[in-house]
Amino acid sequence: MSDKGQQEPSMEEILASIRRIISEDGEPAKSETQAPSPPPPPPPPPPPPPPPPVDEDDDVLELTQMVEDEPDERPDFGQPDPDPWPDEPAFPEPSPPPPPPPPRWEEPEPEPMPPPRPARRPMPAFDEFEDDEPPPPPRPRRRPVEVDDGLISRRTAEDASHHLTHLARELGDDLSIGPMPIGIRTVEEVVRELLKPLLKEWLDENLPTVVERLVQQEIDRMIRRSQKF
């Protein structure tokens, strides 16, 4: 019984073998899923060419060697000559200006005299105007033409006023007999009553002629106005 138990694998060994198989199956899949490898790096540049060979005869200056100073080949002109005018300045000072001359007194020129004014003419005496001709008399002014715009002509109005004046005189003579007693009619009433028959008689005689004359005057006036325009 003990040998059988040792030969049979335990549960842990079985699980470990299963895990091993699973891990072995997953490794090739992982390798397939990996990204492709990067490209190879470029080749290195070629080395620079070697420097040309140096001859041994060429002088090579080392830092430890001393360099001799070259002789000064500039010509020697000797010392400069001393200044022949040591005390005189380079620019001479300007000489002072001469003093101004003393002022000379000049007499002022006399102003020219103004020209003489012309003599005034004497005023003529009053007697000198007596021989002159008298001024002409003023022209008589023309009286403006009176435009008769009334309904009654001037002559008719004068005749009517003459009759009325005559009537007033007659009434005055009749009323001047004496004072009127109290209770009698007034002067206006008496004048009105006396004027009625006279005016009626005058109008009966002159009214047709007056009307005809006035109508003719108005017609003539209208004709004259139409001719002006």
Give the pLDDT confidence of 178-190 residue by residue, as tens digits. Answer: 445 545 667 888 8
Give the pLDDT confidence of 75-87 residue by residue, as tens digits. Answer: 556 565 555 555 5
Q: Average of pLDDT values for 159-164?
A: 72
What the block records as the tokens of 47 is 């080395």
What the block records as the tokens of 7 is 């030969």
Does the pLDDT at position 213 exceed 80?
Answer: yes
Does the pLDDT at position 3 exceed 70?
Answer: no
What the block records as the tokens of 17 is 């073998």
Sign of the CA dihedral running 182, 183, 189, 195: negative
Q: Average of pLDDT values for 45-68?
A: 60
Does the pLDDT at position 144 exceed 80?
Answer: no
Q: What pLDDT is attached to residue 130?
A: 53
**Interacting residues of 40 by C-beta distance below 8 A, sequence separation 6+:** none
Chain-centre distance for alpha carbon 27: 100
What the block records as the tokens of 88 is 């005189």
Give the pLDDT confidence of 94-132 residue by residue, as tens digits. Answer: 777 888 777 777 767 777 777 777 666 666 555 555 555
CA distances from 23 to 13, 27, 206 (A): 15, 6, 170
Average pLDDT value for the chain: 68
Q: Average of pLDDT values for 56-66?
A: 54
Integer Cα distance of 134 and 152 in angstroms: 47
